[in-house]
Amino acid sequence: MHKRKLGNSNLEVSALGLGCMGMSFGYGPPADKKEMISLIRTAVERGITFFDTAEVYGPFTNEELVGEALAPLRDQVVIATKFGFKPDPNGAPRWSGLDSSPDHIKQVAEASLKRLKTDVIDLFYQHRVDPNVPIEDTAGAVKDLIQQGKVKHFGLSEAGVQTIRRAHKVQPVTALQSEYSLWWREPEAEVIPTLEELGIGFVPFSPLGKGFLTGKIGQDTQFDKTDFRNVVPRFTPENRKTNQALVDLIGTFAQQKKATPAQIALAWLLAQKPWIVPIPGTTKLHRLEENLAATTVELTPEDLRQLESAASKIPLQGARYPEELQKLVGR
């Protein structure tokens, strides 16, 4: 597995990371814990060194899973987690808004360190920008944690370019995590040029469009009642029907390259910039193997030109988030 550096930082990680959220949260019932520990450890054996979690996933159970799985391998891996959501005051397993106040960030860091069974968080992201707390205060709190040796690197998730610039002046931002794929290319307009200018790495989540770009989700696919995709406008049956044209296009390229649609989608991302590290998630070993093989798929400049030219002519339907979640991004 090739390694990549996230921007100008000295944080070197495998070219593909592993998003762990879906093992505990978001896409139906949690997977079997023992099986997921085994999968995470197999990922390390296969060369993955970059693992992504957050306190909100579960909540808390995903960090515990990742911590237990990676404890024996801690010196071989980079663990990223996130702060910024406010727990429900009644103790219910849900969240009530945002909280990136410095005191809260420091409390979250202490709790995450315990759950992750580690003495340092490699990459600590603000999960969503908190409009009630100046980003300078948030960045300053993480800077304090870095000076105390509890955190190594500061990241942002789904932040807008002005926020990125302001934060970066206080504490250099190592990575931005946001959605980016052939299905969601908005970051190309402003975000990616800003990251390039400032020397910040980019960690695309949902690089396979929450599973859609694998070609395994059709108009008639039924999701579990607890699956987040049930409330995503892009995943209504009629929008899936329209958006299938993009999947068909990727499938055609996959046949030419003797690859799978997922491998083409990941190879396309890897070809965009040398400091982009996608983090596809999975709960299945065969999918992990499939994703890893994407790092050996070579797309020539002409392949990329043809793929992008054809993709740009396909009209895509549906917002990527329901309205209340869309308000939290790009600030």
Distance CA 274, CA 263 (A): 17
Residue 317 in domain: yes
The confidence score (pLDDT) of residue 263 equals 98
Mean pLDDT taken over the chain: 96
Check pLDDT > 70 for residue 91.
no
> β-pairing, 78-83 with 121-126?
parallel
- The reported pLDDT for the residue numbered 225 is 95
Q: How far apart are CA 221 and CA 12, in angstroms?
A: 38
Q: State the pLDDT confidence band at 323, using cuts at 50, 70 and 90.
A: very high
Q: Tens of pLDDT along 242-263? A: 999 999 999 999 999 999 999 9
Q: Which range marks the domain in which residue 96 is found?
A: 3-326
Residue that has been written with the tokens 């909100």 in this structure: 56
The string of pLDDT tens digits covering residues 95-108 is 789 999 999 999 99
Is there a domain that residue 35 lies in?
A: yes
Count of CB atoms situated within 10 Å of the CB of 88: 13
Which pTM does this prediction carry?
0.97
185 pLDDT tier (thresholds 50, 70, 90): very high
Is residue 57 part of the annotated active site? The answer reads yes
Nearest Cα neighbor of 262 from 307, 213, 217, 299 is: 213
**Structural domain total, the chain:** 1
Three-state SS annotation for the chain? CCEEECCCCCCEEECCCEECHHHCCCECCCCCHHHHHHHHHHHHHCCCCEEECCCCCCCCHHHHHHHHHHHHHHHHCEEEEEECEEECCCCCCCEEEECCCHHHHHHHHHHHHHHCCCCCEEEEEECCCCCCCCHHHHHHHHHHHHHCCCEEEEEEECCCHHHHHHHHHHCCEEEEEEECECCECHHHCCHHHHHHHHCCEEEEECCCCCCHHHCCCCCCCCCCCCEHHHHCHHHCHHHHHHHHHHHHHHHHHHHHCCCCHHHHHHHHHHHHCCCECCCCECCCHHHHHHHHHHHHCCCCHHHHHHHHHHHHCCCCCCCCCCHHHHCCCCC
Residue 331 lies in a domain: no
**CATH number for the domain harbouring residue 190:** 3.20.20.100
Predicted local confidence at residue 92, as pLDDT: 65
Give the C-alpha separation, 185 to 194, whole Å: 15
List CB contacts of 111: < 8 A, sequence separation 6 or more: 55
Task: Specify if 219 maps to a domain.
Answer: yes
Catalytic residue among 27, 57, 125, 180: 57
Q: Does 59 sit behind a cis peptide bond, omega within 30 degrees of 0 on the bond before it?
A: yes
Say if residue 178's pLDDT is above 80: yes
| pLDDT tens track for 27-56 | 999 999 999 999 999 999 999 999 999 999
End-to-end alpha-carbon separation of the chain, Å?
A: 35
Confidence tier at 87 by pLDDT (50, 70, 90)? confident
Predicted pLDDT at 95: 79
